[in-house]
Amino acid sequence: MIEVAVSQKLGAFALDVDFKTDGRFVALFGHSGSGKTTLINLIAGLTRPARGRIVIDGETLVDTARGIFVPACKRRLGMVFQEGRLFPHLSVKQNLLYGAWFAGAVDKSGAELARVAVLLGIDHLLTRYPNRLSGGEKQRVAIGRALLASPKLLLMDEPLASLDDARKLEIMPYLERLRDEAGIPIIYVSHSVAEVARLSDTLVVLSAGKMRACGPTLDLMQHVDLFPAAEGSDDAGALILATVVQQDNGYGLTKLSSRAGEWLMPRLDVPEGRQVRMQIKARDVLIAAERPDGMSALNVFRGVVAEIGATDGASVELRVDCMGETLIARLTRYSVERLQLAVGAPVFAIVKSVSFDRRTLGSGWQDLRASDAGAAAE
Amino acid sequence: MSLLVATVAVVASLPFGLATAWVLARREFWGKSLLNGIVHLPLVLPPVVTGYLLLISFGRKGPAGQFFEQCCGLVFSFRWTGAALACAVMGFPLMVRAIRLSLESVDRRLEDAAGTLGANPPWVFLTVTLPLIAPGVIAGMILCFARAMGEFGATITFVSNIPGETQTLPSAIYTFTQVPGGDEGALRLTLVSLVISMGALIASEWLARRAGGAGRIAS
């Protein structure tokens, strides 16, 4: 259980956040300047809040009312920073064992070190120095270093932000394994919808120092107003849980099924029968009032308009309920009026197969629904 | 004599140099610029003035001199310890400067990272800060050593020029030049001085490369 209720003033910026969650992978999401890093530094103990309390698994780390402030070095929280922050004068192995030594957790056999090194795919780098590592390798070593300090909670401050797309794809599977195998709850700061959609089970949305929402990722991703285009995000879109049904090697396509119906996607390297999560971006969804014919798009779903977002600019976001599955579509306001769309109107949602963004594809999600049930939003 | 004096001066002033540099680099407090000024004073004062100030404060009758004599039997005036003190005072600003500059260039975020890994502040200093500033510390020590080897004005004012007790290399050379036929002796000492200084430079280069290069040379 993670309980955070803090307020902090930094010049003109004021952070005021209050949430409680049982999530195993909690994403703090927001655009730059929303206070994500300020918040995670407060949790790590690198800064003191003006007011508030932070309780992790029943242990009070900060309570300004009672004058409690546990310094960072006594909190036993592993932190992974955006820039890695490996010690340049120590080898990879020494870096990895640095935290373990202070935790008194260095085991002589090196079994724990070996296990983490294999988990993160860095076992061949142990004798190197950080300046001889690639960006992706550095970040994995930084994660390993935090893990080996046997923390009660892992904090990650945009660990992928400084990497290019290829390196991000390289690390994502390790983060998924971490989530599923390490057994340590994770708080993950990110401004990338793709990362949040792929990894997290619980989402805390921050905006200008205020908390906009807190709850299960699956539910929050369906709220059209939380990821508005106005804040510079082109990434809004619903999360879909789907099962791989069949691989069509002839056309290089993968057939998936979800509650909305059957999907055809460019080939995904996932075995048949495996469940995946994918994010369908709002800008990639078209809406038609009648079933379209003679169209190239392969994915057409029948649904009803469930919600029409705020209409201040030229575009509007629409939530469409397709047999219990939610899709989000971004249309112009003009189109909405021309099609005479209103809540409850029957429509067809069209998704072009090739538009699918592979970065958002996640796996290993089987027990997500179960853990969502335990996450409480405040 | 000079070697002993200079080495003692460097080693004895190192902890103070580290502490002063740390305070100047990391802390904000009232009177910081005053401390900064005092530390750097020997750099700008004429050495003879510094020597005279030492004489009146650390001499047998001086307040500091009496204190040290009573508490630990340490006498500075007209002893080699006094020569070491004079050298240390003269080299101190150079040492503090070098260490302070390298401290200021240390990435504080690395220290934060060490903190989140369970290291308390003294350990952070020992395991992260100190290794990172090692090249700067060594440079400071060498500068201080060079200054101590060459120190003349403050030494001769404070502890005079007593052969076998307070006569350092420069003052010995000076003595030789003052007597007829002393050219040969002066030249010999000059050569010795050259060799020692050159050796110190090479040693420092090697030490700095080992300390700073640990991160660059992959094993």
ipTM rounded to 2 decimals: 0.71
Q: Measured between CA atoms, how close is B210 to chain A, in angstroms?
A: 11
**Residue A213: which H helix or E strand, with range?**
strand A210-216
Helix ranges, chain A (H): 36-44, 92-102, 111-119, 135-148, 165-177, 193-199, 217-220, 333-338, 368-374
Q: Has residue A354 got a pLDDT over 70?
A: no
For A173-229, what is each residue's pLDDT tens digit? 888 888 887 778 889 888 877 788 788 888 888 888 888 888 887 777 776 666 654
List Cβ neighbours of A293 (8 Å cut-off, separation of 6 or more).
none
Q: Which of B109, B112, B116 to mutate to test the interface with A (most CBs of A within 10 A)?
A: B116
Residue/partner pairs of B186-190 with CB below 8 Å, 24 or more apart: none
Please calculate the CA angle A25-A27-A32 and round it to the nearest 5 degrees: 160
pLDDT confidence tier of residue A369, bands split at 50, 70 and 90 = very low
How far is it, in rounded angstroms, from Cα A93 to Cα A320? 51
- Chain A residues in contact with B123 by the CB 8 A cut-off are 102
How far is it, in rounded angstroms, from Cα A210 to Cα A44? 19
Chain A with chain B: Cβ pairs closer than 8 A: 77
Q: Given B128, B132, B215, which is nearest A129 (Cβ)?
A: B215
Rg (C-alpha) for chain A, rounded Å, is 22
Whether residue B120 and residue A71 make contact (CB cut-off 8 A), yes or no, is yes
Q: Given B115, B123, B218, which is nearest A72 (Cβ)?
A: B115
Please say whether the beta carbons of B200 and B206 come within 8 A. Answer: no
Q: What would the mean pLDDT of A302-308 be, rounded to a whole number?
A: 85
Q: Chain A 63-122, CB below 8 Å of chain B: which residues?
A: 71-79, 81, 83, 85, 87-89, 91, 98-99, 102-103
For A233-242, what is each residue's pLDDT tens digit? 566 677 777 8
Whether residue B116 and residue A71 make contact (CB cut-off 8 A), yes or no, is no
Q: Measured between CA atoms, how close is A80 to chain B, in angstroms?
A: 8
List Cβ neighbours of A264 (8 Å cut-off, separation of 6 or more).
A248, A253, A254, A255, A256, A298, A299, A353
- Residue A370, Cβ neighbours under 10 Å: how many? 9
How far is it, in rounded angstroms, from Cα A127 to Cα A122? 10
Whether residue A78 and residue B219 make contact (CB cut-off 8 A), yes or no, is no
Whether residue A79 and residue B116 make contact (CB cut-off 8 A), yes or no, is yes
Provide the 3-class DSSP secondary structure of residue A69: strand
Q: Has residue A9 got a pLDDT over 70?
A: yes
- B130: Cα within 13 Å, side-chain hemisphere: 11
Mean pLDDT for each consecutive 10-residue tract of chain B (219 residues)? Answer: 80 88 84 86 86 84 79 76 86 88 86 84 86 85 83 82 80 84 84 85 76 43
- Going from N- to C-terminal start, the domains of chain A cover 2-220, 237-360
Tell whether the torsion through CA atoms of A280, A282, A284 and A285 is positive or negative: positive
Q: Are strands A202-207 and A25-29 parallel, antiparallel or unpaired?
A: parallel
Q: Which domains does chain B have, with CATH numbers?
A: 2-213 (1.10.3720.10)
Please say whether the beta carbons of B39 and B206 come within 8 A. Answer: no
Please say whether the beta carbons of A203 and A215 come within 8 A. Answer: yes
More confident: A170 or A44: A44
The residue of chain A nearest to residue B109, with distances taken between CA atoms, is A85
Tell whether the torsion through CA atoms of A118, A120, A121 and A125 is positive or negative: negative
Whether chain A has a CB inside 8 Å of the CB on B215: the answer is: yes
How far is it, in rounded angstroms, from Cα A176 to Cα A174? 5
pLDDT confidence tier of residue A358, bands split at 50, 70 and 90 = low
CATH number for the region A2-220 comes to 3.40.50.300
Q: Chain B 122-181, CB below 8 Å of chain A: which residues?
A: 123-124, 127-128, 131-132
- Chain A residues in contact with B210 by the CB 8 A cut-off are none
- Chain B residues in contact with A81 by the CB 8 A cut-off are 109, 113
**Residue A279: which H helix or E strand, with range?**
strand A275-281
Query: Please, which residues bridge with residue A189 across strands?
Result: A28, A157
For A101-157, what is each residue's pLDDT tens digit? 887 766 666 777 888 888 788 888 888 888 888 888 888 899 888 888 888 888 888
Please say whether the beta carbons of A278 and A353 come within 8 A. Answer: no
How far is it, in rounded angstroms, from Cα A93 to Cα A97? 6
Dihedral, CA of residue A146, residue A149, residue A152 and residue A155, to nearest 10: -20
How far is it, in rounded angstroms, from Cα B78 to Cα B83? 8
Provide the 3-class DSSP secondary structure of residue B182: coil
- Chain B residues in contact with A131 by the CB 8 A cut-off are 215-216
pLDDT confidence tier of residue A19, bands split at 50, 70 and 90 = confident
List Cβ neighbours of A48 (8 Å cut-off, separation of 6 or more).
A42, A62, A69
Q: What percent of chain A has pLDDT over 70?
A: 88
The CATH architecture to which A237-360 belongs is Beta Barrel (2.40)
pLDDT of residue A370: 36
- CA A329 from centroid of its chain's CA atoms: 21
Q: Chain A 138-177, CB below 8 Å of chain B: which residues?
A: 145-146, 149, 155
Q: What is the mean pLDDT of chain A?
A: 79
Q: Given A73, A89, A146, which is nearest B215 (Cβ)?
A: A89
Assess whether the region A2-220 and the region A237-360 belong to the same CATH fold: no
Q: Has residue A48 got a pLDDT over 60?
A: yes
Q: Has residue A346 got a pLDDT over 50?
A: yes
Whether residue A46 and residue B116 make contact (CB cut-off 8 A), yes or no, is yes
How far is it, in rounded angstroms, from Cα B10 to Cα B98? 13
Residues in chain B: 219
Name the strands in the sheet holding A59-63, side by side, starting at the edge strand that comes first in the sequence: A68-69, A59-63, A51-56, A2-10, A13-21, A210-216, A202-207, A25-29, A186-190, A153-157, A77-80
The residue of chain B nearest to residue A72, with distances taken between CA atoms, is B116
Residue type, B198: M
- Chain A residues in contact with B125 by the CB 8 A cut-off are none
pLDDT of residue A105: 63
- Chain B residues in contact with A149 by the CB 8 A cut-off are 117-118
Whether chain A has a CB inside 8 Å of the CB on B219: the answer is: yes
Please say whether the beta carbons of A361 and A265 come within 8 A. Answer: no
Q: Measured between CA atoms, how close is A152 to chain B, in angstroms?
A: 12
Whether residue B218 and residue A127 make contact (CB cut-off 8 A), yes or no, is yes
